[in-house]
Amino acid sequence: MDLLIINPNTTVSMTKKIDEAAKKVASLNTKITAVNPSDGPVSIEGYFDEVFAVPGMIGEMQKHPNADAYIIACFDDTGLDAARCVSNAPVIGIGEAAFHIASLVAGTFTVVTTLSRSIPAIKHNLGKYGLLTRCAGIRASEVPVLDLEKNGSDAYQKISDEIGRALLDDRAEAIVLGCAGMADLAASLSAKHHIPVIDGVSAAVKLSEAIVQLGIGTSKWGGYRRPVAKEFKGIFAPFSPK
């Protein structure tokens, strides 16, 4: 089984971290390939960044048309619906995957993300996925995404402190880490706080494997149908649906 994991931002060190987290949980017969576009934002922190990340992300899918499943490794599930339109294979967002896994092991969960500007997008997605009532809170650690890549930053402590507040104030029964760049922190934070801490990258890998093994692909009967053939102009000409 071949899984393509796309980090929609252009930070290679984060892609490497995502790759390592995915390979730790993947089955022996699963090949993990993690990539990122060369064009786009270095991090995705809000709606504006998302728009400029999607073309590069779709471009990576076009470069790897034979993957058995695709994973979008941005917690906001950047461009997820668009990505599902261009593939018959399953396309899994790490945010949606983490929410569903959390809902299977806990009555309520709190999301601990990076910056507060990400909270509206996460709340919107939870409502879209029908899981808003299971979410006890969405908390920002106020850690910029790129600080997760810096040695010696206080990112871990800030995230841990926010988890502590979630347990006390939200009475959360599980924690969802709200950034792909936190993928390497889940195990240690879970051990420290004695609560399930879900990383979306790992969750997406296992869900992707299950869906592929079940022989299920992306439905093409509704909004995820193939795009209508038309001409795209200018720099988007390579994306013209055929």
Q: What is the pLDDT of residues 153-172, one digit of tens each?
A: 899 999 999 999 999 999 99
Question: Are domains 2-93+203-239 and 95-199 of this chain identical in fold?
Answer: yes
Q: What is the pLDDT of residues 18-73, one digit of tens each?
A: 999 999 999 999 999 999 999 999 999 999 999 999 999 999 999 999 999 999 99
What's the CATH fold of domain 2-93+203-239?
Rossmann fold (3.40.50)
Average pLDDT over residues 74-96: 97
Q: Where are the domains of the chain?
A: 2-93+203-239, 95-199
Q: What is the pLDDT of residues 134-158, one digit of tens each?
A: 999 999 999 988 888 888 789 999 9
Determine the pLDDT at residue 150. 84
CA 200, CA 111: separation in Å to the nearest integer?
A: 11
pTM above 0.85, yes or no: yes
- Torsion sign, CA atoms 166, 170, 171, 177: negative
Determine the pLDDT at residue 109. 98
Please, are residues 197 and 177 in contact by the beta-carbon 8 Å criterion?
yes
Closest CA to 136 of 161, 99, 101: 99
Architecture of the domain made up of 95-199: 3-Layer(aba) Sandwich (3.40)
Banded model confidence at residue 104, pLDDT cuts 50, 70, 90: very high
Determine the pLDDT at residue 228. 95
Determine the pLDDT at residue 221. 95
DSSP 1-65: -EEEEE-SS--HHHHHHHHHHHHHHS-TTPEEEEE--SSS-SS--SHHHHHHHHHHHHHHHHH-T
